[in-house]
Chains A and B, each alone.
Chain A
């Protein structure tokens, strides 16, 4: 049983968290033609924007309602309306994703009603633009919660309700038996709700795998289209690429929904409630057994056996496990990450024979924490992490961990958000057979690069016998 230690300090030292509205903004950025809009003072947006740009190395459309002193005291509805209308006029986005900040939420106005009013009064001007609200004050949660809230809000707002016509499994099986040579007219649709911690490469890879079973994946949010570093041929004030609003609207026509990460359970549940689409949550898609389950599911939904490519990928992972486990066995790993990513990485390292000596996470609210294979988890910051990680062979966290790694003299494996001092974080694969294989190689290479040559002093450690004397 893992012990979860709550935060007891008064000052956070070197925060591990990025803010909740930022998580929501990232989710909105995975929708085609979208602009996230922070409801708060302009600094809230400016900081988030700079951080996103440092991470993605892309222009990131992110706007602000720019609440000033007057709006802070009298209420921000006017600013909200003006911002929405300005965005519509300037950029004509398909979706405006409103992320409330601590400033707006401390005032706690009825944003839902305000937006409904604005939509009603300005119906003509705002036609063709969805407006989605995510309540994401900074004083609560972090990226994970913000992301999940935005996805939930989009499903709530946009997805067409009601059980949607689609052949039952029985009907499909009968069809397959009675008309063996015929291809079904429409490929079966699978709704995939990835967690925030999946990279652009992860999502592309997921899509390919699902497609290889003859299924049609609809991924929400899909940052692989919008934040993958492609160069558009004209200036775009909104996101380009990502899930289309139309696809979100039709999400209920999927035969199955797959959530990746425990934090995607809520949006998956909502989708089921609204449309009856059954869901499965994969708490991690890293590690051989997890991927096996996923492939089995795809095989079952599609009625197709896994194509040869997947056999090869699995065999490569087996080989990587065989080659890599030498480097992991007995290694002491310290991880600081948001709950689902902590689970993903901790199970990965444990699965190769390493040991988690310290685990720090952002919030205690996630159920996944109980399943993290560590003795204890500290809810806290990188200051706590520094205190707990001093005996580690490897520290695993985002770029802000660089100071910890430097001071402790321990190599740092950069994961999650933000990664601002290394290139290509979005093109790093971390899920499915290939992603697990790549992670093994990456970590094993860090271990090898930091291996010390044997010396009498190092070997002295081995000579200290526990029961001696």
Chain B
């Protein structure tokens, strides 16, 4: 536990994190995410975060050492794609019983589970995830992994990120640490070259990295390792021989990028493949870093040429959507994508961004969003479900882009919605991905169902109609009431007489 505590502190101290640079020593120690409020918390735990980052490594067996829920309630729920091995989609858990826990048999069970997996699937490596219960009862997972690795002759990697230590984001970082400690640098490639790069924090959701990779191929740039999307264990293990790296989802793996720079002198930059300008910028910076590390400078010209070609095609394709989407108001409620780049592209085709979440954006991104949005109050960290519902049901946005968690808030408010998080079914990266995103926005906004679901039944009491109907009614009533009153008064007067 002490080493875990050190790891966590290390993640909080991360010097490459822009947020950290602005903090003093004592606030830095506390980490970024506020502790969740009991009864008012949303979001995953550290284990969730660690698994999210590592599970897309396709040929590894991912074994969750826990009672059922950690894996049983969560497996096969993410849309990352593999171009080969499918083992990552097979779920493994020690599914601990009461007896295992009470009798202290869980370590033994873990060891046997490792044997079972090795014999049945012969994977290149097994990742073992610690969880709340197994951490609480003090299982020495590290020792079991070490013993199993020796005994079965394959890498067995302990992932020490039990749920209770913190947020999903912390789990992302702890996963990066595990790769640094146990995987990266353990295999020497025999084919390292001057155009090798790593892409860090790219998950290949709906296979979207395959919209970017052909661009890199055309430039003669080889992806040594994309971590974790569509990765193989060997690629990750030998990724320390890349010349440069791009960090895609910065908050998730910034520690990994910085430490790889420190240990193996792999320079990195933070970038995004969401949006046209962002994609171009990313390609340019990859080329620049490679040149810095000794690649031929002619790659810069080739990159510029490719960018010019691709941008022209993309903008032309997007132009078709301008008349249909101009002036439409979009609300972006997700930390999952680089909102700046998205904001820029959507505004470029004439859409109006009425709000964007900046929860996971970097300080630099926030500045850029501020500049393009002009109105600062359009940026928010997070928004309560009730407020969100109110905003949408008052039709303050024509579409919401978000993750599955808030999907039904939009739908119940009868507002078009598009998934831009991990469960989505469409690839949005690169130039073609951006066009696809805009196409999906168009399809969502202009779907004929909206007029159907928003109209009340004609036979139902429409409040407006009711008002019309009832107002003369009330009128006659008041009219008839008035004389009645007078009469009653008269009657009263009579009685008194």
Contacts and interface: CB of A to CB of B under 8 A. Distances in A.
A43 B163 contact: yes
Interface string B26-55: 000000000111111111111110000000
Contact of A106 (B72, B101, B390, B453): B101
Nearest to A400: B76
Nearest to B165: A69
A44 interface: yes
B104 interface: no
B68 A79 contact: no
A72 B100 CA distance: 19
B380 interface: no
A137 B100 CA distance: 13
Contacts of B71: 12, 15
B164 interface: yes
A51 to B, nearest CB: 5
Interface stretch (B130-138, B307-315, B468-476): B130-138
A50 B404 contact: yes
Contact of B93 (A11, A21, A53, A86): A11
Contacts of A85: 39
A17 B112 contact: no
Contacts of B91: 12-15
B407 A42 contact: no
B113 interface: yes
Contact of A138 (B46, B67, B136, B386): B67
Interface string B384-422: 011001100100000000001101110010100000000
Given A14-B75, A17-B68, A140-B98, A66 B38 contact: yes
B73 A86 contact: no
Contacts of A462: none
A17 B95 CA distance: 10
A465 interface: no
Interface string A76-87: 000110111111
A41 interface: yes
Chain B residues touching A, majority SS:
helix
A48 B73 contact: yes
B77 A50 contact: yes
Nearest to B61: A11
B97 interface: yes
A82 B37 contact: yes
A138 B101 CA distance: 12
Interface stretch (A56-64, A113-121, A301-309): A56-64
Contact of B44 (A17, A37, A43): A43
Contacts of A107: 136
A34 interface: no
B68 A139 contact: yes
Contacts of A14: 75, 90-91
Interface in B62-113: 63, 66-77, 89-98, 100-101, 109-113
Nearest to A51: B73
Contacts of A66: 35-39, 41
A61 to B, nearest CB: 10
B63 A102 contact: no
Contacts of A68: 35-36, 164-166
A57 B63 CA distance: 29
Contacts of A13: 90-92, 120
A71 B114 CA distance: 31
Contacts of A106: 101, 133, 136-137
Contact of B73 (A11, A22, A237): A22
Given A63-B39, A79-B38, A137-B98, A43 B68 contact: no
A410 interface: no
A54 interface: yes
A139 B116 contact: no
A90 interface: yes
B67 A102 contact: yes
A459 interface: no
Interface string A418-439: 0010000000000000000000
Contacts of A140: 97-98
A405 interface: no
B412 A59 contact: yes
A336 to B, nearest CB: 14
Interface string A2-39: 00000001111111011111100000000000000100
Contacts of B39: 37, 63-66, 82-87, 90
B291 interface: no
B212 interface: no
Contacts of A235: 385-386, 389-390, 393, 409, 412
Interface of A: 9-15, 17-22, 37, 40-51, 53-54, 57-59, 63-69, 71-72, 79-80, 82-87, 90, 101-103, 106-107, 137-140, 142, 231-232, 234-235, 237, 381, 383, 400, 403, 420
10 residue pairs, one from A and one from B, having the closest CB atoms:
A43-B45, A86-B39, A83-B39, A11-B113, A83-B38, A10-B112, A19-B69, A235-B389, A139-B67, A12-B95
12 contacts: A17-B68, A17-B72, A22-B69, A42-B36, A43-B163, A54-B77, A58-B408, A64-B39, A65-B39, A66-B35, A87-B39, A235-B390
